[in-house]
Structure 1
């Protein structure tokens, strides 16, 4: 019995290929049963996310299963195999085992060290297990992969810090306000990054999302997406007193918020802390504002620098992570040998 992985990901295939071969979660069970009916592997787990589609299989004649699986993917996606076969990879054990451990740990992700993939690996395994597509080998392998991923986060800094502008903004806000469950957020402008930061704030429980724009219809569109309230640009200052976090992201070629303005706001707020995130380029907020007491001003470069520092820390952990994964792979292969599957 041998463990094989057939797949493609963001490193090997462009988006137009990945999206055609992506398998929605609600179709996974049906696809697995069709693979079983076609005798493609004896055990199988299907992992499909926005950045990868992978089939993990166990069998005695895996070379033939891989050939049939490639044809299956071609038929499913309605793409000639010749048009995407070069984007596929095939890993045999022990490389297949090491690959899964790396995937589950976030080492093979577009965002290094991200944690969402661990839940996706777990869900993929549970879906296959529920419909009896797994046996002793894949049950043990996938359960071990979850433990390996958690072990890496315990013993290294692979998940340290946030590595996107939106997540850094949320992390800073949580340091200022402890939590965002009762935080009131206002967005001036409707830029894409402002929307990302707003969504990240909402995901952490931020309330009373207010979106202001010179064109009210644009404000209404973003406000609806965030479950908030649209406000005309002329009216935004009347709501500053109740705002905890102000995000600016307009295309104005000049500073919109002056130091004297913010000073008046703080008097009216009785010096209650105000976190300002200026994502605009050129900047919407006068840099002198950061000198005011209880005002925390960060621009897009500030946030990106923090994200880059965190990413550098994560990258510095890769050597140790791969050492641990290699050791765990050897340990698993030892178990496989003792069980006489090799």
Structure 2
């Protein structure tokens, strides 16, 4: 009963965002089309494989493909004459497609034949709480699908519902920040991949990457991903103002609060749930010198390393 209550409470904010969008959007058709598409995607790509194999890692394939699917739906069902619709659809398609392709390449190379470390760490959490593992596995997999239906679709749905012609200065600033953040994330990923290749060529195992952006943050790729979502929130504010002006007084503040919640959720995911904390749990155990790296280097926000 305690586990069920915890699961239900965890899902309430996502359901609340979905309900908010249902009543706040002038036309919620895209909201419901996306909900159906995400449900089908997650059942086939994540839930059924999780049930069959007992591994949660398939979420890493489903959720980015779900983001790309949001972008595709916006492009197909949104107003084709509105530049805003085209831009936000492409942003989702590019970001989700990039991560989805990387996940599929990993799947093809057999990386999903065993549970990814971040989801192994989830099992440690479930064990400490005394939870039923199979129930927690399915709930948390389904919760990511619910997030793709609600909070992670929020910027796309808001901007697709904005009929204002042209792009405002704030939207352009948000899109520029999105591009910079995505480049930052890609540079971090590339630097780590090249570092790993050099270490393998040199026969050095379990070395930790502390070069390039990794000198200033232990997880610069996660910081870049968080800034991608902050940029989407920023570029969505003009759409919130347009929708607020055409509706009841509560609409604007609640939609703005939902965008802030999206940023907070992504920060928690990237630092605690499946990001930095699980990665560092295993890095400390197997990488010599990682504890000293932790002492010198910021976990998330880039800054100059300590002496």
* TM-score relative to the length of structure 2: 0.26
Q: Give 1 or 2: higher helix fraction.
A: 2
Task: Tell me which structure has the larger Cα radius of gyration.
Answer: 1
More strand by percentage: 1
- Which structure's relative contact order is higher, taking Cα pairs within 8 Å and 6+ residues apart? 2
Give the TM-score normalised by structure 1. 0.24
